[in-house]
Structure 1
Amino acid sequence: MDLDKRPASPAPGRYEPGDGCLTTAIRIPVRIVVLVLVVPVRMVWDLLAAGTRALHRSVFRPFGRGIAFVCSWVYETLLTPLGRALGVALWWLGRALFVWPWVALWRYVLVPVAYYGLLVPLVWLYTSVLTPIGHGIAFVCSWVYETLLTPTGHVLGVVLGWLGRALFVWPWVALWRYVLVPVVHYGLVVPLVWLYRQVLTPIGHGTLWSLTWLGRGIVLIAAGIWTALVWLVVTLLITPLGWFHRSVLAPVGREIAAALGVAWRIAGQISRAVGRGLKWLARVLIGQPVSWFYRSVCTPVGHVLRDRVWAPARKAAAEAGRAVGSALRSAGETVRQARRDAWRALAGAPRPAEPVAAPVDGARTLGSTTTVPGAVPAPEISLRKQV
Structure 2
Amino acid sequence: MHLEKQDVGRPAPPARPSSPRQPEAAGEGCLVVAIRLPVRIFVFLAVLPVRLLWDACAVAARWLDRAVFRPLGRALWWVGRAVFVWPLVGLWRYGLVPLGKALAWLGNLVVVVPAGWLYRYVLVPLGHALVWWYGRVLTPFGHGVMWVLRGIAAVSAATGLGVFAALARLTRYLVVVPCAGLYRWVLTPVGQAVARCVKGLARLAGMLVTGIGTGLYWITRILLVLPLLAVWRWVLVPVGRVLAVVAREIGNALGHAWRVAGYVSLAVGRFLRNLLRWLVVEPVRWVYTCVLTPVGHVVRDVALRPVAAAARVVGRAVGQSLASARVTLRQARADLRRVLVGEQRPVPVGDRREPTGGETRTLGSSTTALTKD
CA distance in 1: counterparts of 2:73 and 2:235, whole angstroms: 60
1:288 to partner: Cα distance: 1.0
SS across alignment from 2:270: helix
CA distance in 2: counterparts of 1:237 and 1:101, whole angstroms: 88
What is the match of residue 276 of structure 2?
282
CA distance in 1: counterparts of 2:115 and 2:173, whole angstroms: 78
CA distance in 2: counterparts of 1:303 and 1:104, whole angstroms: 90
1:47 to partner: Cα distance: 1.0
SS across alignment from 2:29: coil
Letter in 1 for 2:255: G
The 1:65–1:187 alpha-carbon spacing in structure 2 relative to 1, beyond 3 Å, is closer
What is the match of residue 358 of structure 1?
none
Which of 36, 60, 64 is 2:69 aligned to?
60
Q: Identity, % of aligned pairs?
A: 30
What is the match of residue 81 of structure 1?
90
- Residue 189, structure 1, aligned to residue 184, structure 2: yes
- Residue 172, structure 1, aligned to residue 167, structure 2: yes
- The equivalences for 1:372-383 within 5 A come to none
The 1:189–1:53 alpha-carbon spacing in structure 2 relative to 1, beyond 3 Å, is same
Contact 2:51 2:261 in 1 (8 A): yes
Letter in 1 for 2:67: S
What is the match of residue 40 of structure 1?
49
The 1:176–1:103 alpha-carbon spacing in structure 2 relative to 1, beyond 3 Å, is closer
Aligned length: 286
The 1:302–1:86 alpha-carbon spacing in structure 2 relative to 1, beyond 3 Å, is farther
The 1:78–1:182 alpha-carbon spacing in structure 2 relative to 1, beyond 3 Å, is closer
What is the match of residue 265 of structure 2?
271
Tell me the alpha carbon deviations over residues 347-381 of structure 1, each in whole angstroms, 9 at most, x when there is no partner: 469x99xxxxxxxxxxxxxxxxxxxxxxxxxxxxx
Contact 2:44 2:257 in 1 (8 A): yes
The 1:17–1:288 alpha-carbon spacing in structure 2 relative to 1, beyond 3 Å, is same
CA distance in 1: counterparts of 2:281 and 2:350, whole angstroms: 75
TM-score by length of 1: 0.55
1:52 to partner: Cα distance: 0.8
CA distance in 1: counterparts of 2:271 and 2:94, whole angstroms: 63
* Higher alpha-carbon deviation: 180-189 or 277-286: 180-189
Letter in 2 for 1:271: S
CA distance in 2: counterparts of 1:97 and 1:203, whole angstroms: 89
1:202 to partner: Cα distance: 3.8
CA distance in 2: counterparts of 1:51 and 1:183, whole angstroms: 103
The 1:187–1:286 alpha-carbon spacing in structure 2 relative to 1, beyond 3 Å, is closer
1:84 to partner: Cα distance: 0.4
Which blocks of at least 5 consecutive residues in structure 1 are unaligned? 1-11, 317-340, 353-387
What is the match of residue 231 of structure 2?
236
CA distance in 2: counterparts of 1:262 and 1:111, whole angstroms: 86
Q: RMSD of the TM alignment (CA)?
A: 5.1
What is the match of residue 252 of structure 1?
246
TM-score by length of 2: 0.56
What is the match of residue 346 of structure 2?
none
The 1:111–1:192 alpha-carbon spacing in structure 2 relative to 1, beyond 3 Å, is closer
What is the match of residue 19 of structure 1?
29
CA distance in 1: counterparts of 2:60 and 2:208, whole angstroms: 79
What is the match of residue 343 of structure 2?
none
CA distance in 1: counterparts of 2:282 and 2:67, whole angstroms: 23
1:277 to partner: Cα distance: 1.8
1:284 to partner: Cα distance: 0.9
Letter in 1 for 2:168: V
Which blocks of at least 5 consecutive residues in structure 2 are unaligned? 1-19, 313-348, 361-373
- The equivalences for 1:1-387 within 5 A come to 16-20=26-30, 24-25=33-34, 27-71=36-80, 78-92=87-101, 94-95=103-104, 100-102=109-111, 115=122, 157=155, 161=158, 168-197=163-192, 199-228=193-222, 229-237=224-232, 239-247=234-242, 249-297=243-291, 299=293, 301=296, 345-347=353-355
The 1:206–1:281 alpha-carbon spacing in structure 2 relative to 1, beyond 3 Å, is same
The 1:46–1:14 alpha-carbon spacing in structure 2 relative to 1, beyond 3 Å, is farther
The 1:32–1:201 alpha-carbon spacing in structure 2 relative to 1, beyond 3 Å, is closer
CA distance in 2: counterparts of 1:72 and 1:298, whole angstroms: 45
Tell me the alpha carbon deviations over residues 48-68 of structure 1, each in whole angstroms, 9 at most, x when there is no partner: 111111111222223323433
* Higher alpha-carbon deviation: 170-179 or 71-80: 71-80
Contact 2:35 2:246 in 1 (8 A): no
1:93 to partner: Cα distance: 5.1
The 1:107–1:39 alpha-carbon spacing in structure 2 relative to 1, beyond 3 Å, is closer
The 1:285–1:213 alpha-carbon spacing in structure 2 relative to 1, beyond 3 Å, is same
